[in-house]
Structure 1
Amino acid sequence: MTQTRILFAAQAPRLLALLALLLLWLPCVLRGPDSYVQIDDNLDAEIGVPYLLHRFDVALDYRPEAQVPALMNGLPRNTLRPGLSVPVALFGIFEPLTAYWVNQLLVRLVALLGLYALVRRYGLAAPEHRPLAAAVALAWAVLPAYTMYGLSALGTPWPLLAVLELRRRGGRLWWPWLVLLAFPLWSMLVLGGFFVVAALGLLLAADWLLHRRVSLAAWGGVVVLGLSYCVTEWPLIGSVLVRQQFVPHRLEFRLAELAPQGLAAGLRSTGQYLGWGQYHSSRFFRGGIALALVAAAWQLRSAAPIGQQAWRHRVGVGLAIVVALSVFCAFYPQAMGPLQRVAPALGAFNLTRFHFLTPLLWFGLWVLALRQLPPGALRTGLVVLQLAIGLGSNAEWLHNLRLWGGRPAPHEPTWRQFVAPELFGQAKGYLEQRSGQPASAWRVACLGMPPAAAQLNGFYTLDSYQNNYPLPYKHQFRRIVAPELAKSPELRRYFDAWGNRCYLFSAELGRNFRVGRTDGVVVQDFRFDAAAFRQMGGRYVLSAVQLAHPSGAGLQLIAQLHSPTAYWALYIYEIRT
């Protein structure tokens, strides 16, 4: 019985942190379809992809001819995320919203366990530090994150821990190898994976340079991680590097045209990276951690000089790395201008994603600070402050709390309002009856709303938000939107120098891609190339805005639909024959 009590006491802080995380996320998951799901770069881009991979039974079909017919007139399957992926697997088991929340909860639980294990072995190893380690891990797990990217951001403690354990104990342990083999199944190579592999390699190289210490097991672990990514991400690697199946539109990326230029702009961007980070890799205010570092430095003023020097050295190295990465990420887009004049294809690679490493670096600095502070109100207050900062930065968590409180954000629709199954069901039934053909026989495009809403309701769209698609398709689609791009230099630059949002544009709307039915927006002068639209198979425009003069664009209004549960009004326009 005594051993049982000791074991429970050892595990209790971690179990309480896991329970606290689950309780904190109840306001999100209990709302069901009326919950808020992050929209930008998430619901409008990422959630529909695994759903469609399973709908068309191509999740594990890596043949060059495999396509997703509902996207962009048959988007090549190998432009999309791999089928050997935990999120994709979950979308094959559950309906989309359930799969999304299950994936998010699992990501956050695994992230909590990962950081807890890391800091318990390297940072807060003393038995009395268990509650503190659990609190730090909870603060990590509530950070804002795009969990459709899996463990790319919040899961980074796991590969670091695995490599450190291989360096310390050699290859005798089995679980670090399993971690490094499995991590690519729940993360993305182009976001965090490549940069995690690079960072671990640099860490081991620095270990050799500074200490002349070489761990073959640790290097082997990095190689295993890289090879596992090659297997998992074979659709991308094989289609681009081995047997090129298509020319990606990313070859025309010109990041320098999208970023503010000059020293002042670069310094402002550096300050943003330092103070808040980048939103894809967890955007939260770093001030709480900075305050903890100041408090720890003050606490150490009476410590022995050797202890002070060692602590300051570690903190100084950590801060230097964070500053260097912030400067690099801030000025990288500007530097790409002259580089791309020499090698245009360099724009396809976004090396600013080293910022996926910075949240863990900041938490490492935080642990160094907390370890120097005695138990008491100050240390507890700093932990509570960081927990509040993480939750306060988490848009999904905050918006769902607002929904429970009856104060929804006016332009942040819930899942039900965004997907609007009743509204799009009416539209699909009406158009199939009008055309006498199923939805697969004709194509639509959306104006004033993300095409993902139509895609999740069974429509086949010419437009889409994709990180990778064939360059010839971008040129073909540009003919449709060229009249509106000609009106707006900003939209023209947005599409030509980037183009992930291959959308119908309106100069009057600008980059407002989310027009609600209560906004009452009427576009006075909309132009697009109806002949090019028809040539690509387009027949109908699903618009969230009313067109004052649709005939000027070669369109005619055939239906106007509304639903009290939908965020959108739906004006359906048909190409005039």
Structure 2
Amino acid sequence: MTTKLKSIFGKPKWITGLSLVIILLYFLPFLYQGKDSHILVHDNLDSNVTWVKTLLNSGEFFSSPDTKIQNVFNGIPRSSLYGTYDISLIWFKLFGMYYGYIFNKLLMSVIAFFGMCFLLRKIIEPEKDIEFISISVALLFALLPFWSFTMSVCGLPIVLYAFLNIRDGEKHYKNWLIIGIFAFYSSLFLSGVFFILILLCLLVYDIYRNKKINKPFVLAIGTLGILYLISHFQIFYSFLFNSDYTSHRVEMVVRELTFDESYKRAFSMFTKGQYHAHSLHNYILYPVILVGILQFFFKKRSMKYLLILIFILLTSLLYGFLNWKSMASFFTKLMSIIPIQLNRFHFLHPLFWYLLLGLALTFVARQFKFGKLIVVPILIFQLYFVLKHHEFITQKNGPAYNKFYSEELFEEAKKFIGKPQKSYRVISLGLHPSIALYNGFYTLDGYFPDYPLEHKHNFRKVIAKELDKNKKLQKYYDNWGSRCYAFSSQLARKYWDTKPRKVKKLEFDFKALKALGGEYIFSSAEIDTKNTKGIKLLKVFEHPNSQWKIHLYQIVIN
């Protein structure tokens, strides 16, 4: 039996090849179904993808940060539309929006796989017959449904691997190349700044332990910081040097939580994670904690294991209690000054949970006679759990890519209007403005994490009466405002519902909308024009490749 186990587990090349095949099969449905694939909408199709398309179509990628992109809000700064020089944009340019998105996702998984493989091998230094653990854990990490399309989470293992190599005195150029790529393929504000803080803590520990400074390691940290300044130049310029620019973020107010709400939020983070940085550790939590406890009964205890676990626990508490009413006011002031949310340490959690899983399973395999037999079902169960969170499954009730953006339908609308798109402005009611923007229309509404405060105020005049009728909606717009949407009190935030709906009375200030250049409304709901003065229905558009039934209204008030 032992010989058979060694023959199976002692073939890392075979297991690596199988893992890569599984990753390819994971993405095969997206290639097979093409644009009929169901893709995440929230903070993805409703924003990120459209921002990329708008920027690429504008031809302003290398323009100065304050260059105005006229498609949005009568001119949004280049830095607000897409504030980084990002390698992922190359794939969109080469392969188009959909296939660029899928290729980038596939590339992210491959990077995640090899990065975690290299990192676990370096940290664990496994014997050949248990090397399958590192490879299998790397596969689990690679199949996580990474949000967005950068290396902000998936690239953390490989860049940490590079930093540890430099820290250990390795002089190979690959380490510096990895650091350079990561700086232009990840977000400083999602994970980069928090990763640098971890590196600085490691540097301080080394100085304390060795009584000297590791100069190459310091240089590597400095290099990453400088390269981030370059790749995020657009954002830094707008916040630090453009005195004429005031962001809508200055009016953001963090929702204050009670102690009980904060505790539940922290507990959920520790046990389940957060959807922007999926770790899917709901069940691997148990073997990880169990091994952490077991280590106290063995002579060889791993301090790095316990420190990582404590780090996750403390940052989960930070995530929950940063909005606690005793701390929220300070956080609100800080967020108005810098575009960093301090609770985003959780973007590092997937890296650390799977590091802990690799360490835990290796501990079990080494310390117990039948350890390998215990490890295998844990890996298989976690693989099943991760595969259950495939985007094709979790988004099956959502729209397909082509039906969401409905290019044929909006092409018909554009031809019907019959004027150059830059000569008029539109708003969307009951659907995401990103759809109109994706299809080349110039929009007065949209979803952006940073845009001019002046536009927020001007657009509020248009929707003020509707906000007054719904206090929750009013707080949502006034206290956050990143979704600068044409909100109706009746539809509220249901901008994904495709069922037939009717707005009995829409109390928009159409004069204020006209003053902003607004001429047309794309609405997924029928508006009762008898009770709503100032608009008229021009046409209703439907198409087999669209999930929407769009009512086109023209503003006729003088």
Q: Cα deviation per residue 1:303-340 (whole Å; 9 max; x = unaligned)?
A: 7x412xx14x4433222111100011111123553326
Partners of 2:228 and 2:75 lie apart in 1 by: 26
Structure 2 residue ranges without an equivalent (≥5): 1-9, 366-370
> Structure 1, residues 426-485: CA drift from partner, whole Å, max 9, x if none?
1111112xxxx2111000000111111111112111111111111111111111111111
Q: Is 1:424 aligned to 2:410, yes or no?
A: yes
Q: CA deviation at 1:528?
A: 1.0
Change (3 A) 1:189 1:333: same
2:538 to 558, 568, 571: 558
Q: CA deviation at 1:10?
A: 5.2
2:318 to 298, 304, 328: 328
1:372-393 CA distance string (max 9 Å, x none): 1225332011111222222223
In structure 2, distance between residues paired with 1:510 and 1:211: 60
Residues 363 and 285 from structure 1, CA distance in 2 versus in 1: closer, same or farther, beyond 3 angstroms? closer
Counterpart in the other structure of 2:3: none
Q: 1:476 aligns with which of 434, 458, 469?
A: 458
Q: Distance in 1 between matches of 2:180 and 2:424?
A: 43
Which residue number corresponds to residue 398 of structure 1?
393
| Structural mapping, 1:31-430, within 5 Å | 31-62=33-64, 64=66, 66-82=67-83, 84-148=85-149, 150-170=150-170, 172-210=171-209, 212=211, 214-244=213-243, 246-255=245-254, 257=255, 259=256, 261-282=257-278, 284-294=280-290, 305-307=298-300, 310-311=301-302, 313-334=303-324, 335-339=326-330, 345-346=336-337, 348-374=339-365, 375-394=371-390, 396-399=391-394, 408-409=396-397, 412-430=398-416
How many angstroms does 1:573 deviate by?
Answer: 1.0
Distance 2:336 2:354 in 1: 35
Inter-CA distance 340–286: structure 2 relative to 1 (3 Å threshold): closer
What SS does structure 2 have at the residue aligned with 1:413? Answer: coil
Contact 2:467/2:489 (CA < 8 Å) preserved in 1?
A: yes
Taking the aligned partners of 1:565 and 1:344, their CA distance within structure 2 comes to: 42
Determine helix, strand or coil for the equivalent of 2:169.
helix
Contact kept, 8 Å, 2:84 with 2:233, in 1: the verdict is no
Q: 1:274 to 1:357 in 2, by over 3 A?
A: same
- For 1:344 and 1:42, the matched residues in 2 are separated by 23
Instruction: Give the match's secondary structure for 2:552.
Output: strand
**CA contact 1:440–1:460 (8 Å) conserved in 2:** yes
User: Is 313-322 or 270-279 further displaced after alignment?
Assistant: 313-322
Which residue in the other structure is 1:499 paired with? 481
C-alpha distance in 2 between matches for 1:40 and 1:160: 29
Letter in 1 for 2:155: G
CA distance in 1 between partners of 2:153 and 2:184 (Å): 14
Q: Could you tell me how far apart the structure 2 residues matched to 1:325 and 1:209 are?
A: 24
CA deviations 1:467-504 (Å, max 9, x no partner) are: 11111111111111111111111111111111111101
Name the CA distance, whole Å, in 2 between partners of 1:546 and 1:210: 69
Q: CA deviation at 1:213?
A: 5.5
Between 118-127 and 458-467, report the one with greater CA deviation.
118-127
Rate the CA distance shift 1:193–1:292 in 2: closer, same or farther, 3 A: closer
CA contact (8 A) 1:293 1:366 kept: no
TM-score (norm 2): 0.92
**Which residue of structure 2 lines up, in the alignment, with residue 511 of structure 1?**
493
CA distance in 2 between partners of 1:53 and 1:37 (Å): 21
Question: Could you tell me which amino acid in structure 2 is paired with residue 538 of structure 1?
Answer: G
- Aligned residue for 1:282, secondary structure, equals coil
CA distance in 1, matches of 2:524, 2:554: 14
Count of paired positions: 542
Tell me the SS of whatever aligns to 1:281. Answer: coil
Amino acid at match of 1:319: L
Query: d(CA) in 2 for partners of 1:487 and 1:380?
Result: 57
Preserved contact between residue 86 and residue 186 of structure 1 (Cα < 8 Å): yes
Decide whether aligned partners of structure 1 residues 441 and 139 sit closer, same or farther in structure 2, where only a CA change above 3 A counts.
same
Aligned equivalent of 1:441: 423
> C-alpha separation between the residues in 2 aligned to 1:551 and 1:218?
68
Rounded Cα–Cα distance in structure 1 between residues aligned with 2:41 and 2:502: 24
Q: Write the distance in 1 (CA, Å) between the matches of 2:151 and 2:96.
A: 21
User: Does the C-alpha gap of structure 1 residues 112 and 340 become closer, same or farther in structure 2, counting only changes over 3 Å?
Assistant: closer
Q: Match for residue 4 of structure 2? A: none
- For residues 334 and 14 of structure 2, the distance between their equivalents in structure 1, rounded to whole angstroms, comes to 56
1:503–1:476 distance in 2 versus 1, CA, 3 Å: same
Q: CA deviation at 1:297?
A: 5.1
Residues 42-86 of structure 1 deviation map (CA, whole Å, 9 limit, x = unaligned): 00000011211121111121253x222211212111223246312
**Which consecutive residues of structure 1, in runs of 5 or more, have no partner in the other structure?**
1-7, 401-407
Q: Cα deviations across residues 355-375 of structure 1 (Å, max 9, x unaligned)? A: 111111111211121011225
Letter in 2 for 1:548: D
